[in-house]
Amino acid sequence: MVPVSIDAIVIGQPLPCALRDQNGVLLASAGFQVGSRADLELMVGKRDQIYIDFDQSDNFRRGFVNRINNLVLEDRALGQIADVQVSPYDAKRDAVEVEVSDVPDWIALQSLCHATLRDSQGESFLPRLARLQTDLVRLTSTHADGTLFALIQLASAELTHYSATHAMLVCAMCSIAARDVLRWSQQEHSALCSAALSMNISMTDLQDRLVTQKEPPSPQQQQRIASHAARSVDLLQEMGVTNDLWLEAVLHHNRKVPGPLASRSPGQRLARLIQRADMFAARLSPRQLRGPDTPGAAMQSCYFDEHRQIDEAGAALIKAVGIYSPGTYVRLATQEVAVVVRRGHNTTMPRVAVLINRQGMPTGEPIVRDTSQPDYRILASVPFRDVKVNQSLARMLALTRPSGYDRPW
């Protein structure tokens, strides 16, 4: 253990690591927030020193050096520099400062996709689509859990920008499955992501209108829906797309033809994966006419094909994103309700953050639990509409990273 100053504890800020006494007895767990100086003194008692685990002390050293460097650059007085103290919270923040700066602005990315899909004319469309695809693929490869969490939360919580959010979620799911499970080539992966983003480009306006429409689609709207795949291909070709894999995937992405992937042409293999992800994402999203399906029901529809057999593409998606995907809600054996924040070692045992305790009350601070432990196993999915707790997206995304605060269970 490594000693730290009692005065280094910042009142009102969550602790990124546990505090212990000289015998290793736990005084305060990671994530605990000291409410006042009196609470701190009560917790410490008559102890002269408190400690943290050695493997967490690097955060303190990096934070301390960072703080000293900043004060030197600001030409502060030597006495002020000598008196600098670094709290666990400050050290944690300083140590991950670069990482946190990489967290994307999901609302801005959603707006970019919305504008790109609606402005499908002119020379700027393909460069903007390429930029969007590059950003999404980078995020799915470097931080897949956070990407899934953000997009599933956005898709299930709002009706605005539906077509954009839907396209990004389908693209992200397909990207992870193609790369990590199916091991498709870079060429196939790139065409797949392009097709997922642009598959509905000929009906973007209609797609956004349908989710807020209070009556079923009219015959004219049904006709546009039925023909949108071919019209999307025509539109893409007009804008200069010549990639056959991309165009074939868009053309067939709405076809519901069961069977193994190996029996299909390369473009139709891509199309089948998109069709399965498309179905899952659509069922998660609310409509004026209906609420969203439970995550479990949405995933089940993706897993089984039109003959109620296991679908190869659907199974690949579930293996990639989990039966309980980041961003969805679950009920634990403790009767707590939690949101999935990270995928686990298998598809049924993710890491979750409890938002509602067993008495049905909000926890205030999310409490991270590992559902591979029998006491915290998942009993069932919980519909989005049944969870009334509002949490900041940025705050929850911090928990999707391995460095997120894990409070003990």
Residue 338 has pLDDT above 60, yes or no: yes
The amino acid sitting at 313 is: A
Distance (Å, rounded) from C-alpha 233 to C-alpha 248? 8
**Assigned domain for 408 exists:** no
Name which residue leads in pLDDT, 159 or 406.
Answer: 159
Q: Where are the beta strands (DSSP E) in 260-332?
A: 329-332
Is 288 domain-assigned? yes
pLDDT band at 148 (very low <50, low <70, confident <90, very high): very high
CB contact at 8 A, 348 and 323? yes
Better-predicted residue by pLDDT, 200 or 44 = 200
- Phi/psi region, residue 31 (left: phi>0; alpha: psi -120 to 50; beta: rest), is left
**pLDDT value at residue 66:** 52
- What integer pLDDT is reported at residue 110 of this predicted model? 86
If one compares 78 and 327, the residue with the highest pLDDT of the two is: 327
pLDDT at 35 over 60: yes
**Amino acid 98: pLDDT:** 33
One domain, residues 295 and 340: no
What are phi and psi for residue 325, nearest 5 degrees? -80, 155
The verdict on 183 and 310 lying in the same domain is yes
- pLDDT score for 13: 67
Q: Are residues 112 and 69 in the same domain?
A: no
Of the candidates 261, 267, 268, 293, the one whose C-alpha atom is nearest the C-alpha of residue 280 is 293
User: What is the domain-level CATH number for residue 147?
Assistant: 1.10.3210.10
Q: Of 42-46, 137-141, 240-244, 254-258, where does mean pLDDT reach its minimum?
A: 42-46
Of residues 250 and 348, more confidently modeled: 250
Q: Which of 190, 180, 197, 188 is nearest to 144 (CA)?
A: 180
| 301, 357: one domain | no
Whether the pLDDT of residue 140 is over 90: the answer is yes
Q: Are residues 254 and 365 in the same domain?
A: no
Q: From residue 187, how far is each of 18, 26, 278 by CA, in Å?
A: 47, 53, 21
80: pLDDT strictly greater than 70: no
Q: How far from each other are the two terminal CA atoms of the chain, in whole angstroms?
A: 22
Provide the pLDDT for residue 100.
Answer: 37
Tell me the C-alpha distance between 26 and 48, whole Å.
15
> Considering only CA atoms, which of 359, 399, 367 is closest in space to residue 29?
367
Is residue 407 included in any domain, yes or no?
no
Mean pLDDT of 324-340: 94
Tell me the two tokens of residue 197. 């983003």
Whether residues 122 and 161 fall in one domain:
yes
Q: Residue 205 domain-assigned?
A: yes
Between strands 26-28 and 19-20, the pairing is antiparallel
Last residue of a domain, one of 321, 352, 375: 321
For residue 409, being part of any structural domain is answered with no
My answer on whether 345 and 312 are in the same domain is no
What is the domain count for the chain?
3
At residue 285 the predicted structure's pLDDT band, cuts being 50, 70 and 90, is: confident
- What is the DSSP code (8-state) at residue 9? P
| 101 within some domain | no
Q: What is the predicted pLDDT for the residue at 43?
A: 79
pLDDT above 70 (res 158)? no
The pLDDT value recorded for residue 87 is: 43
Distances (CA, A) of 76 to 66, 69, 83, 191, 248: 14, 10, 11, 55, 64
pLDDT band for position 95 (50/70/90)?
very low
**Helix H or strand E encompassing 353:** strand 351-356
Q: What pLDDT, on the 0 to 100 scale, is given for residue 28?
A: 79
Residue 357 lies in a domain: yes
Amino acid at residue number 115:
A
Report the mean per-residue pLDDT for the chain. Answer: 81
**For the segment 170-191, what is each residue's pLDDT rounded down to a tens digit?**
999 999 999 999 999 999 999 9
pLDDT classification of 3: cutoffs 50, 70, 90? low
Instruction: State the sign of the Cα–Cα–Cα–Cα dihedral 244, 245, 251, 255.
Output: positive
Give the model's confidence band at 290: pLDDT under 50 very low, under 70 low, under 90 confident, else very high.
low
Q: Residue 380 pairs with which residues in a beta bridge?
A: 331
Mark 311-332 as b/e (b = at least 16 C-beta within 10 Å): bbbbbbbbbbbbbbbbbbbbbb
Are 128 and 17 within one domain?
no
Q: Give the span between the Cα atoms of 136 and 34, in whole angstroms.
A: 38
Map 188-250 to HEC letters.
HHHHHHHHHHHCCHHHHHHHHHHHHCCCCCCHHHHHHHHHHHHHHHHHHHHCCCCCHHHHHHH
Domain range holding 212? 106-321
Taking residues 210-220, what's their average pLDDT?
Answer: 86
Residue 305 in tokens: 């094909």
Highest mean pLDDT among 3-7, 208-212, 343-347, 354-358: 354-358
Whether residue 253 sits in one domain with residue 124: yes
Section 242-263 average pLDDT? 94
Stretch among 19-28, 187-196, 202-211 having the lowest mean pLDDT: 19-28
Residues 314 and 348 in one domain: no
The burial of 64, by beta-carbon neighbours within 10 Å (0-12 exposed, 13-18 middle, 19 or more buried), is given as middle
Query: Considering 33, 61, 95, which residue would you say is the last residue of a domain?
Result: 95
Long-range contacts of 254-259 (CB under 8 A, 24+ apart): 254/199, 254/228, 254/229, 254/278, 256/306, 257/306, 258/305, 258/306, 258/307, 258/309, 258/311, 259/305
pLDDT class for 386, splitting at 50, 70, 90? Answer: confident
Are 37 and 114 within one domain?
no
39 located within any domain: yes
One domain, residues 55 and 126:
no
Please name every residue paired with 310 in a beta bridge, in sequence order, or none if there are none: 304
pLDDT of residue 120: 67
For residue 37, give the amino acid letter. Answer: R
Enclosing H/E stretch for 69:
helix 57-73
